[in-house]
Chains A and B, each alone.
Chain A
Amino acid sequence: MTPSSSIDTAGAAPHDEHHDHHPSYLVDGTTIKSWILTVDHKRIGLMFLFFVLLFFLVGGIFALLIRLELLTPGPTIMDAMTYNRTFTLHGLVMIFLFMIPAIPAVFGNFMLPLMLGAKDVAFPRLNLASLYIYLTGAVFMLWGMLNGGLDTGWTFYTPYSTHTTTTVAPVMFGAFIIGFSSIATGINFIVTCHTMRAPGITWFKMPLFVWAIYATSCIQVLATPVIGLLTVLVAVENLFSFGMFDPARGGDPVLFQHLFWFYSHPAVYIMVLPAFGVMSEIVSTYSRKNIFGYRAVAYSSLGIAFVGFFAWGHHMFVSGQSTFDAGVFGVLTMLVGVFTAIKVFNWVGTVYKGAVDFKTPFAYFCGFLFFTVFGGMTGIALGTVSLDVAWHDTYFVVAHFHFIMVGATIMAFLAALHYWFPKMFGRTYHEGWGLVSAALIILGFNATFIPQFLLGNNGMPRRYYDYPERFQALNVASTAGATLLAFGFIIIAMYLTYSLVYGKVAGKNPWRSKGYEWLSESPPPTHNFVGPQPTFPEEPHFYVDPKKAEVPDAV
């Protein structure tokens, strides 16, 4: 086939690579219309980034309000009903509008075609549509939240949600619409992986981030329709009292829980699997080593996606499920731990004897490793029926899912943001500030949620407005941690915004990574690669000798 455009990046001449005739995607068309009607996956990724960050800000502000309210027992800054609406809004916005689309829709969109040597995703217009579907859903959801609010928590448990007079229907409808966006993105990525790989990229030469996104997309496609139906049924029931999940009319609320968790448990992996993929890229790049056990890491993504579908019952250990069912769900839950451990050991194996370049993304990798292992281990503990009965609906669960879902995903999101920042914007950020804020965030996160493990273990229930005096010290510690966390994010927002304009020009491959996406320009031109379609004879994480790769590259 056509000769590769630029495979040997290590010795690439610094300035001959500039192709001025191919403007980067950022400046190829500068009208508003050229952005809002674009079909370029990179621009769509950037627009997703903007909205995802916006909703992260909203969700984060509400998190701080919750922590402020819990600073002292009794009413502190709001009344009980406002508190219920606040934590519901925090959960809904963070899960449906931030966590689920964060990595797939932003970095998946931006990087997947680049990593496959493709010019775009398979269905570019569907891709744009998924952005607008997402925004439509967000509007419905936030409109409902602002006009009366919702006090059910993000889990919408029946029969309460079918009876409450708060605005269930628009919020449920919003969730339903956002589900469509998720399905569209998933279908798009699966088809892209199947049909758009450049010559030379076989399945087992796909970068591990692509594998993770592929596995995530399978979950999105298979799980989301079920919650789609469920949200419609609950909205209908709340409006018209059809009795589907209302015990007073013969319905079964436990059936609701089954259908809800059939999606919402796999949804955890929609959030965290892409994070695993990001980390596989980063650990390889900054250790200057081929990933240890490429196939094991790739297969374990599919493994997590698969067993993730059979673990939902662990949310229902106290719902009157039979002991046998609970045992089966417990064991299946622990299988997720096995597949995750495969990944963790392979990451550690990659770092071992690597030439570690301790940049900001690697700092986040360290935080990520801690949150994944600690969050994962507490997950195994919660998968044990006898322990779960004690910890059920306490702050222990809150701390656990924040560690694994939020901690791991935020680490990966920030790592990806820093790692791919030069690729996306052509400029680098300030490394010193990067490390400082990473330290603040990792510290702040631990300070926020480790006290919550202790609170839960001491018996403080989740979602409670008030608590006895003896829990106050730990709650204050948690709020202090959340404040630290907020400072970390403010610093990041400041220096990244600064770097957008004033950052040092990055060059094609500032990290000297072997990832395929770095073969393109930074920022990439509209059709991703200059010249004929590139071929990729090397494996994506192919570092022959860590020491040799240390030769500095002109940037």
Chain B
Amino acid sequence: MQSSAHTADGAANLPRLAGHFASLEVQNHAARLGMWLFLATEILLFAGLFVCYGCYRFLYPEAWAAGSRSLDLTMGTVNTVVLITSSLTAALAVHYAKAGENKKVGVMFVLTLLMAVGFLVIKYFEYAHKFHIGTLPGRYYHYEGIQVTGIPLYFTVYFCSTALHAFHVIIGMAVLSVAMVRAFRKKDFGPNNYTMVELGSMYWHLVDLVWIFLFPMLYLV
């Protein structure tokens, strides 16, 4: 019971049971609980930025209104749609992993990754435009179009939060790539072994969730 769960019912897709866990069920429970806790810390990491956003929005309402309006709403909306769709494909990957359809898991992750790249490309164009016209944080701000008190701070918050989010997108892509390779190569995901797919997708949902907060905060309100 403790040592291993190898080929107990002939199914190939059983994960390795680490020696210190009592059962596979406990092991999966532990993995899931650990991931939820980790995601909570990620939310809290961004929460610090949300507090900065809230404070400075309260201090400089006009700068915030002007800053929001200067962002490209179309690009932001497209990015939101892209990211939400990628979350759907990540969720479908979990669905297929539970069914043991490894090829479809891989395909779903490929789609997710493509959309992630798309998101970053759009983000790159947005950044490039801002670098070009000079809507930059702090002392680098030199855009003539908007001259309201506090506007450089708006772009400080904008760049800090979107850059931190983009960094998370890249980490998420790395995580999903590993799961994708495993789905294609080892084909060992199945009803008893989908924790890796599930946790990877959970991380991706977090990336999506954070954007769902950032988008209305920065672009809409």
Contacts and interface: CB of A to CB of B under 8 A. Distances in A.
A191 B28 CA distance: 11
Contacts of B42: 225
A187 B153 contact: no
A195 B153 contact: no
Contact of A252 (B29, B38, B55, B149): B55
B138 interface: yes
B124 to A, nearest CB: 20
A118 B30 CA distance: 13
A121 B34 CA distance: 12
A504 to B, nearest CB: 32
Q: A interface, how many residues as a size bin?
A: 35 or more
B33 interface: yes
B160 A226 contact: no
Contact of B30 (A195, A250, A251): A195
A435 interface: no
A250 B155 CA distance: 12
Contact of A190 (B29, B37, B51): B37
Contacts of A222: 40-41, 44
Contact of A226 (B19, B21, B48, B139): B48
A241 interface: yes
Contacts of A191: 30, 33-34, 37
A244 B160 contact: yes
B33 A243 contact: no
A221 interface: yes
Contact of B153 (A121, A188, A250): A250
Contact of A244 (B44, B46, B156): B156
B75 interface: no
Interface string B35-74: 0011011101111110110011001100000000000000
Contacts of B41: 183, 187, 221-222, 224-225
Nearest to B63: A250
Nearest to A186: B37
A191 B29 CA distance: 9
A281 interface: no
A33 interface: no
Interface residues of B, number: 41
B43 to A, nearest CB: 8
A222 B140 CA distance: 34
A242 B37 contact: no
Given A224-B41, A243-B156, A250-B149, A122 B30 contact: yes
Contacts of B191: none
A249 B56 contact: no
A450 interface: no
B22 interface: yes
B45 A226 contact: yes
A365 to B, nearest CB: 33
A196 to B, nearest CB: 8
A258 B56 CA distance: 14
Contacts of B138: 237, 240-244, 246, 249
A124 B20 contact: yes
B48 A244 contact: no
A119 B20 CA distance: 5
A554 interface: no
Given A187-B37, A244-B156, A225 B45 contact: yes
A533 B26 CA distance: 15
A156 to B, nearest CB: 15
A123 B18 CA distance: 10
B152 interface: yes
B137 interface: yes
Interface stretch (A227-235, A316-324, A354-362): A227-235
Contacts of B159: 242
B34 A123 contact: yes
A119 B2 CA distance: 11
B137 A242 contact: yes
Contact of A195 (B29, B37, B44): B29
A241 B136 CA distance: 11
Contacts of A236: 160
Contacts of B46: 229
A527 B2 CA distance: 12
Given A186-B37, A191-B33, A244-B156, 15 more contacts: A118-B20, A122-B21, A187-B41, A222-B44, A229-B46, A233-B48, A242-B138, A242-B159, A243-B137, A243-B152, A250-B153, A251-B56, A251-B153, A251-B156, A259-B52
17 contacts: A122-B34, A123-B30, A187-B41, A194-B30, A195-B29, A195-B33, A196-B21, A196-B26, A196-B30, A233-B48, A236-B160, A244-B52, A250-B60, A255-B52, A255-B55, A259-B51, A259-B52
Closest 4 CB pairs of A and B: A229-B48, A243-B138, A242-B138, A119-B20
